[in-house]
Structures are given as C-alpha cells and as structure tokens.
Amino acid sequence: MVEIKTSEKEIEYKASVDERGNLVLKKKSEIKKGKKSRASGANFELKVRRDLESKGWIVDKWTNNVNLEKQEIEPAKRKFNPFSKVMTIGTGFPDFICFQKMGDYYKIIGVEVKKNGILDKEEKEKCKWYLDKGIFSEIWIVRDSGEIAYEDFKERYGKLFN
C-alpha cells in the first residue's frame, strides 16, 4: 500500500502491476465502490434469472461471445482472479440464453442484464449481428428501474436496422 498525502486529506492507494509491467495505483475508495457495483450487478442478474424462470423460460448462462472482426461466435474468454484463485466463467455476451416452448417450436432469445439499461457501441453491434444471423429471435435488455424492466433491443434501437 502506498499513501500519498495531500494538504486536504490523506488518500490511500493500492499499488499493482498490469500485464505490461507498469505500476498502477488505484484509490482504495474506488476499489470498494467497484466491489459493491459488481455485487449489486450479480444480485440483479440472479433476480432477473429467477423472474424469467417464474415466467416459464428455461434460462442458461451464455458462455459465447461474438468476434466482430472475424464475424463469428467464439467461446468467451475466462477471467482468472489470482487473489481468490477463482476462474470466472460467465463473461459471455449476452448474459443469458432463454428458451420457451411455443406450440411445436421453441422461442430462443438472448437477455442482457444492465442495471442502467444502456448498451455501449460494441454491445449494440453484437446484438445486431446476433439478430441479423438469426441466432436469437429477440434480444431483451433488462434494466433496474426499481423493478425489473424488459425492453426489446429492436424496439429501442430500431434505427440500426434501416
């Protein structure tokens, strides 16, 4: 731990080294905020999963991602946390693949859970790719507006399809 003193107050930093060998200083207060945000996001994701299952959907974690350069689906990269010695699996996009029986057929949708409901540019491109290729019939974006709010990607970003 490195402490840097300022005239106003003391700010604590945690020193680490990135993959290139560069020193990285992170504010301890920001580290705590990040932990809380990740935990909150994971809890909301679990809440969404339970809600979808209660509505008759079969829900599974989507462990693939789209490589936009190669224009193909590939397994999502796993992330390793060296401190907890844990390999994170669920880093695919979208978060879930959901099935529901519709007569003789199944409806297959992708569900991306975002607390704020906002997709970045790359995520929008990936959603459009999945829909153009017919991988999913719909992609839902789920946001937390005090309760679970589902929104169809095509309805929200329809201008991308014109």
Rg (the chain; Cα; Å): 19
Residue for token pair 């990607």: 153
Residue at 119 is within a domain: yes
Which CATH number fits the domain that encloses residue 54? Answer: 3.40.1350
Residue at 9 is within a domain: no
Residue at 56 is within a domain: yes
Residue at 76 is within a domain: yes
User: Which residue range(s) make up the domain with 130?
Assistant: 45-161
pLDDT at 7 over 70: no
The count of structural domains within the chain is 1
pLDDT digits (tens, 9 = 90+) for 22-72: 877 777 777 777 778 888 888 999 999 999 999 999 999 999 999 999 999
Is the alpha carbon torsion for 97, 101, 102, 106 positive or negative? positive
pLDDT at 8 over 60: no
pTM of the predicted model as reported, rounded to 2 decimal places? 0.77
Residue at 32 is within a domain: no
Residue at 8 is within a domain: no
Residues in contact with 10: Cβ distance below 8 Å, sequence separation at least 6, in sequence order: 3, 4
Residue at 19 is within a domain: no
Confidence of residue 145 (pLDDT cuts 50, 70, 90): confident
Q: What is the mean pLDDT of residues 101-111?
A: 94
Residue at 37 is within a domain: no
The 3-class secondary structure across 138-150, one letter per residue, is EEEEEEECCCEEE
Q: What pLDDT, on the 0 to 100 scale, is given for residue 162?
A: 65
111: number of Cβ within 10 Å: 23
Candidates 89, 90, 93, 88; CA nearest to 65 is 93
